[in-house]
A and B are shown apart, each in its own frame.
Chain A
Amino acid sequence: MSRSGPFRLAQGGRIERTRAVPFVFNGRPLTGYAGDTLASALLAQGITVVSRSFKYHRPRGVFSAGFEEPNALLRVEIDGCAVPLVRATMQPLVEGMVVTSENCFPSVDFDLGRLVDGVHSLFPAGFYNKTFMWPGWSAYEGIIRRLAGLGTLPSGEDRTQYFRHHLHCDVLVVGGGVAGLCAARAAARAGANVVVLEQDTELGGRALCERLEIEGQAAADWIQAAVDELNRSGRVSIMKRTLAAGYYDRNVLTALDLRHADRAEGRAERFWIIRAREVVLATGAIEQPLVFPRNDRPGILLAGAARAYLNRYGVAVGRNVVIATNNDDAYRTAFDLHDAGIRVAAIVDARPRAGARVEEAIERRQLKVHRSSMIIDTRGSALVSGVAVRELTADGRAFQKPRQWIACDAVAVSSGWNPTVHLYSQAGGKVRYEPSLACLVPESCRQRVRVAGAVNGEFALDRVLESAARAGRDAARDAASETPPGRAQTRVAPGEYRMETHGIREIRCAPEGASARQWVDLLHDVTRADIEIAVRENYTSVEHLKRYTTTGMAVDQGKTSNLNALAILSELTGREIAALGTTTFRPQFMPVTFGAIAGGQQGDLYAPVRHMPVHDWHVRHAAQMEDYGPWKRPACYLQQGESREQAIIREVRTVRSAVGLFEGSPLGKIEVRGRDAAQFLHRFYINNVLSLQPGKARYGLMLTENGIVMDDGIFACLSPGHFLVSTTAANADRVTGWLEEWHQCEWPDLDVVLMPVTTQWAVLTLAGPRARTLLQEMSSDIDFSPSAFPHMSFRSGELAGRPARVQRVSFTGELSYEISVPANEARALWEELMERGAKLGIAPIGVEAWLTLRLEKGFLHVGTDTDGTTNPLDLGFARIVDNKVGDFIGRRSLLRPHDRSQERRQLIGLEPLSRADRLVPGAHIVTRSGGGMRSEGFVTSAAFSPTLDRSVGLALLERGHARLDDVVTIFDEGRTVQARVVKPAFFDPQGERMNA
């Protein structure tokens, strides 16, 4: 007996028998061969139960040999890096891999969850919707979430590296089977640059699994010759173990590349975004199972899979195998097994006769065939041990004669092959059921896509070769041109190469008379009975059926269940399958790791971090750097032994009593130049721009066309036809785009040019009663005396030998100068100001103190004190709006009755009656109403004011402007505070300090 297991045959297969690969399955050390998949290695070892089912926790075994696998989803760990729900049928065996079954406790062989199976009749389709009605879903959600789901997320750090790549090519061939290779070869011969995607580790597709001759050569030799030619051509890039997952507009496809997913060191997954001029889909077909009672036992698998394990991996799926089929193709499994010396217990064929050549081969081998028969029951627990067979009536709608039991240890089932049309459908292609082929076929598509091989219902090899060669050739020809704008041609999938070769009879499901459960969707545990319930309750459209029963909604997306579900629906409703339609195929074809889609854009690279020009100085001086939008900014600067709160209070007092220096570089700055610059800006601000004289600055609000406050800031006139617009830091990009859009789309006739200069100019703001003293000590050609440089004016000149733009504007209520210098000069100026200001008591000021200062003053902070419903009238700007001459964006909206209503929420100030009480942003202002409370508004900003030694806040309050001096109740998390409504100006309401 081979070390790689009792079911490994002495010869055959493409595995490397000289390279043993040790691995661990559920704690057991086992061995396979290089070239094995995890599934083939487990089958070789005679391991029949690999998982427990989703709902009933029934034992399940390997069911397929490819991406359609519904059962063998296992947790795979390589060198401590775990991935849940890996398809064992796609996972190459890797030395040292640790494999664990999911969804079972305490073990896959003895699972307590199986208790659910004993009472399965309590859990029919629609169970959740019908059962958890009272008192509500939330009462049950917690426990059900714990019970539900497949797999467990790995914990700890994900050491996988993820990459996202882009690729362009003339012709993309999806699928590296015979059709794909043939198409790629033809396209390359015609001079196209070709990319071939193949999800398997080897090229050749089904041909790797069959005893087959292609163009007079053994399949393996033909494949090798084709691959050699592609490699020699220099125009073909072959990507194995790379799975095309999505097909989008304009021939954009995505693919998950797992070529480096099996390495212990430096595990990597790559996500490719591929733009192809032309696409050839050669995605093959998926074999469908038969539906019969208790058809989910381990040991029951697809007939083509049994052949794959035999011919490709040298593994026998059993020693005494029953074949159940409705077509000729499954006989190849019987013949291959028989010829390899494995006993074929019986063939159960739903048809009265097989094809003539098949009948001959049966005769030669003396195989036992039960004709016009189906399996109607199975036995066994961890492995199927027998099947009951019964004869069908002539019309196939009922059974006749008594049942007969046949002993076996494996059942290979087939109801024919169904084209893998998923990507074609995602591309927008129409798909229909073709009764003469008994499968879905591609019909037409408006993208530049062709189909060749089994995906197009071409099941005869010589026709596939012809069709694929033509598809490749034509694709290369058409790839010479880029898609021009205009109507796309509808391309019809060619029908002339289609051929049904299996003599299929459309009986997929055991007819009535069978009471035991018949599985349709193995992964989601959906049975024929569930579909019957759905139909009884009138969920008879395919889309409703899918959602009500969840058939086809599991991670395998119904690759082996959708067609059977359609067949049962057809039988129950009496409508033809072709008339039922199909559910929509959507990306992804297979699960794609989120990390791969994100690529490198995660962690520190998730979003760019913006540093201000004086950043390094702040960091070196104990600044508490925090995120404000994309910017890192100092929240405050800690001096020795200080808490954060103490630092903020000290900084506020410094500004009120001496002078503070604040970096405001993120402030948005836009230069507006041109003959019509004033006229242009006049259409944005609620304020008068036309009357602004050179050297003067003005505070303004900008609205959306719906009259909602969008941004505020200072605009200054530098000279006639030259303005500088400041925006809030958060809106710098938005306002720039806003001005551009209106200029280009609405007012292109205005002579104006816009230039965002936010990052060119650093902004250092001096604020405090000693700010002027400090500036007057610096060398400058600007006269800072109060009469020469009053509040709300602008000067440009030189400061300490540097070009500077200085605005005398105030966010804090103090005498204040906003100094802009070229960004690369900022650090030196900052240091000079700090040095010279030392004797005046200067200190650097963080954002938190800055915001407290503005709140003490009652100044507005757009986005904090306003929301998506706030208009300028709500903020007390009615007089400015009414006095403005001419239209501006949003003006017409302010004329609507609702916008002028005094019932609206209006901005006011709040002072708690008790000095000990604190206001909290977000707290609601409430009134008693009926038996409960009603909100009349909410606190938008609040802070403890060090200057006033009390808490103050701003709020949006219904009818607020008319309610000055009212006392209101503020509710916050069960606590209430009484506060007085005041004008939003707590400190120096006359503005004497900033005008000083």
Chain B
Amino acid sequence: MLRIPCPYCGVRDEEEFRFGGESHITRPGLEVDDARWADYLFNRTNPKGLHYERWLHSYGCGRWFNLVRDTVTHEVLAAYPMGAAKPRLTEAEPGNDENPVSPAQAGTLRGGRR
């Protein structure tokens, strides 16, 4: 069971949330070719390691936000609002404590959309 730090409510149990898949995916316009559109629809990175994903606090504030999770260890490394830029995290070996980003820090990282 994950414990998820909702940027608006604080740490809550995984069962209050809904997973929304990979985040920071740019939606292409109508003009792109079929291959690019298929890539947007179906292809996801599925990394072993850091995964940038979005979650909905469905049994809480009802807000969507971003989360960085290690797919190997299930560690939650950062949580930050929709629209904030990807936090820069080093792809450190599990167990390396370098550069953890707290939700409070991440919340101040403003940038482009998704």
Q: Which residues of A contact B (CB under 8 A)?
A: 248-250, 252, 275, 428, 446, 482-490, 705-706, 737, 740-741, 744-746, 748, 887, 891-893, 895-897
> Please, which residues of chain B bring their CB within 8 A of the CB of A446?
73, 75, 94-95
The answer on a CB contact under 8 Å between B62 and A250 is no
The answer on a CB contact under 8 Å between A483 and B3 is yes
Contact partner, A482, options B11, B37, B92, B102, Cβ 8 Å? B11
Among the interface residues A737, A744, A745, which one has the most CB atoms of the partner chain B within 10 A?
A: A745
The answer on a CB contact under 8 Å between B102 and A485 is yes
The answer on a CB contact under 8 Å between A488 and B73 is yes
6 cross-chain CB contacts under 8 A: A484-B102, A485-B103, A487-B96, A487-B98, A705-B41, A895-B34
The answer on a CB contact under 8 Å between A486 and B97 is yes
A892 to B39, CA, bound (A): 13
Q: How far is the CB of A862 from chain B (nearest CB, A)?
A: 21
Q: Which 3 A-B pairs have the closest CB atoms?
A: A486-B100, A252-B1, A744-B64
A488 to B101, CA, bound (A): 13
Q: Mark B74-106, 1 if CB is under 8 A from A, else 0.
A: 111111001100000000101111101111000
> Please, which residues of chain B bring their CB within 8 A of the CB of A748?
82-83, 113
Q: Which residue of B lies closest to A273 (CB)?
A: B1
A252 to B12, CA, bound (A): 13
> Please, which residues of chain B bring their CB within 8 A of the CB of A745?
20, 54, 64, 82, 114
The answer on a CB contact under 8 Å between B95 and A485 is no
> Please, which residues of chain A bring their CB within 8 A of the CB of B32?
892
Q: Mark B1-13, 1 if CB is under 8 A from A, else 0.
A: 1110100000101
Q: Which residue of B lies closest to A253 (CB)?
A: B1
Q: Which residues of B contact A (CB under 8 A)?
A: 1-3, 5, 11, 13, 20, 27-30, 32, 34, 37, 41, 54, 56, 58, 62-64, 70, 73-79, 82-83, 92, 94-98, 100-103, 113-114
Q: How far is the CB of B111 from chain A (nearest CB, A)?
A: 13
Contact partner, B76, options A275, A485, A740, A896, Cβ 8 Å? A485
Given A741-B64, A745-B114, A892 and B103 contact (CB-CB distance below 8 Å): no
The answer on a CB contact under 8 Å between B79 and A485 is yes
A897 to B38, CA, bound (A): 13
A490 to B83, CA, bound (A): 33
The answer on a CB contact under 8 Å between B96 and A741 is no
The answer on a CB contact under 8 Å between A486 and B2 is no
Given A249-B1, A745-B114, A487 and B82 contact (CB-CB distance below 8 Å): no
> Please, which residues of chain A bring their CB within 8 A of the CB of B5?
485
Q: How far is the CB of A425 from chain B (nearest CB, A)?
A: 15
The answer on a CB contact under 8 Å between B20 and A741 is yes
> Please, which residues of chain A bring their CB within 8 A of the CB of B70?
487
Q: Which residue of B lies closest to A706 (CB)?
A: B41
Q: How far is the CB of B8 from chain A (nearest CB, A)?
A: 12
Q: How far is the CB of B1 from chain A (nearest CB, A)?
A: 4
The answer on a CB contact under 8 Å between A487 and B95 is yes
The answer on a CB contact under 8 Å between A487 and B77 is yes
Q: How far is the CB of B77 from chain A (nearest CB, A)?
A: 6
The answer on a CB contact under 8 Å between A487 and B41 is no
Given A485-B76, A741-B20, A891-B30, A248 and B94 contact (CB-CB distance below 8 Å): no
A744 to B30, CA, bound (A): 21
> Please, which residues of chain B bring their CB within 8 A of the CB of A249?
1-2, 74
A891 to B78, CA, bound (A): 34
> Please, which residues of chain A bring their CB within 8 A of the CB of B13?
275
Known contacts A486-B101, A744-B64; can you find 8 more A-B pairs with CB under 8 A?
A249-B74, A446-B75, A490-B94, A744-B63, A745-B54, A746-B114, A748-B83, A896-B34
Q: How far is the CB of B64 from chain A (nearest CB, A)?
A: 4
Given A482-B11, A487-B96, A744 and B2 contact (CB-CB distance below 8 Å): no
> Please, which residues of chain A bring their CB within 8 A of the CB of B28?
892
> Please, which residues of chain B bring their CB within 8 A of the CB of A893?
37, 41
> Please, which residues of chain B bring their CB within 8 A of the CB of A706?
41
The answer on a CB contact under 8 Å between A487 and B79 is no
A248 to B15, CA, bound (A): 14
